[in-house]
Amino acid sequence: MTQMIYPTTNLTATEQLVIERGEGVYVYDNQGRQYLEGLAGLWCTALGYGNEEVIEAAANQMRTLTYSHMFGGKTHPAAMALADKLSAMVPVADGRVFFGSSGSDANDTQIKLLRYYFQAIGKPEKYKIIARERAYHGVTVAAAALTGLAPNHTHFSLPFDALGILRTGSAHHYRDSLPGESEAEFSTRRAEELEQLILAEGPGTIAAFIAEPVSGAGGVITPPEGYFQKIQTVLDKYDILLWDDEVICGFGRTGADFGATRYDFRPDMMSLAKALSSAYMPLSAAIVSGDMYEPMVAASAGVGVFGHGYTYSGHPVACAVAGKVIEIYERENLFSHAATVGDYLQSKLRELADHALVGEARGVGLIGALELVANKTTGQAFADNTVGAFCMKSCEKHGLIVRAMGGNAIALCPPLIITREQVDELLEKLSLALADTLEYVNREQLWVA
């Protein structure tokens, strides 16, 4: 045991797998055993492991400028070029880009930008944020309050009320719909519930609604028919900003450049991380529209400084890496590749929907999940998360890394470079793990009548 406090881990069960190296879509442990990395690390290693172009871009930047901060008017070419590239890519009007190091700090930054903006335009009372149940937006104090998952709240005494965090229902039709309710009807109900919450709180107090296009850590929840269009209609009606958390979905994961493109909605704000640099360096971006940025300029002039920033904001090596990663995405048409191979992955996942344990197979592009249930007919969940945990460990035994998320959903999110043949390998290993898990459920008599 080392002296480390491990992140997002049962602290009684640390150091179970030591990963020593990676190559392409595979990683290898300290015993030399190979695993197909079925979750792209933590939804992030889009280019896989060991890409020499990216490594060389980092090395070249280190030889040129290892570090420079961005405070007090200082800047450098790598950050400027990346900011302009991102502004041109994202579906945010006249996007203005603030760099950090993680998705959590990007969302923390966005909360501060919202408050700064509404203070600047004379609406300080407009600060509340509506987030969804089973959403994941990070683990800093503010971002964890946005997150809608109990393990990220328990024992942390988060200041939900002080931050003005409100909660509305998830977009999970399978788990949260009423009997006989269609996807379109479910979306309408969720929009109506959102409107009722806005009216109860007062539209003039609510700054933004935050959502992931596809909820990752909540169990890979894809939006039902018409969901974002109906939500956006409500937000527009009450002049509430739509904040798009693309930390997982951005850069091809859904088979489009961004989840907002895939699901056809218009964000005012966007948070990026993970595949922005393919996780070769820590980097995030909080992007707001030009309409939000302009009032902040005059406000900062009055104070003498915009009083927010990190030591590593716009780190030159991270920005150079991200610039090269985006270049590779575009040159290799990896977003189109993700759409094509993603369709193949989704078709194979849907075939597993007939398995006795699988209540729902869902996903889009190269992100998906199988929800394991105690009663296939009713969709009844298992009493706890042990079945998903067993399946995850069984996948590992067969040389596949996945995660059990949102209860007993087995999440998949392989690198964008994965081939059809490697998808077949992934599904073969997953099928073996499902067979093991079925035997376990039968043996332990975990079915619910």
258 contacts 250 by C-beta, under 8 angstroms? yes
Domain 333-444 has CATH 3.90.1150.10: yes
Q: State residue 9's pLDDT score.
A: 87
Q: 1.10.10.10, 3.30.930.10, 3.40.225.10, 3.40.640.10: which CATH number matches 54-331?
A: 3.40.640.10
Question: What pLDDT score was predicted for residue 260?
Answer: 98
Domains 54-331 and 333-444 share a fold: no
Average confidence (pLDDT) over 368-376: 98
Mean pLDDT score across all residues of the chain: 97
Q: How many CB atoms lie within 10 A of CB 229?
A: 14
pLDDT of the residue at 110: 98
- Residue burial 334-367, b: 16+ Cβ < 10 Å; e: rest: bbebbbebbebbbebbeebeebebbbbbbbbbbb
- Cα separation, 403 vs 409, whole angstroms: 8
pLDDT digits (tens, 9 = 90+) for 248-289: 999 999 999 999 999 999 999 999 999 999 999 999 999 999
Average pLDDT over residues 107-135: 98
- Give the model confidence (pLDDT) of 341-369 as tens digits: 999 999 999 999 999 999 999 999 999 99
pLDDT-derived band at 146, boundaries 50, 70, 90:
very high
**pLDDT value at 1 more than 80:** no
What pLDDT, on the 0 to 100 scale, is given for residue 11?
Answer: 85
Read off the tokens for 274.
Answer: 């993970």
User: Which amino acid, one-letter code, is at 195?
Assistant: E
Q: What are the tokens at 330?
A: 């575009």
Q: Which residue has the higher pLDDT, 406 or 169?
A: 169
For 203-250, what is each residue's pLDDT tens digit?
A: 999 999 999 999 999 999 999 999 999 999 999 999 999 999 999 999
Domain spans, the chain: 54-331, 333-444
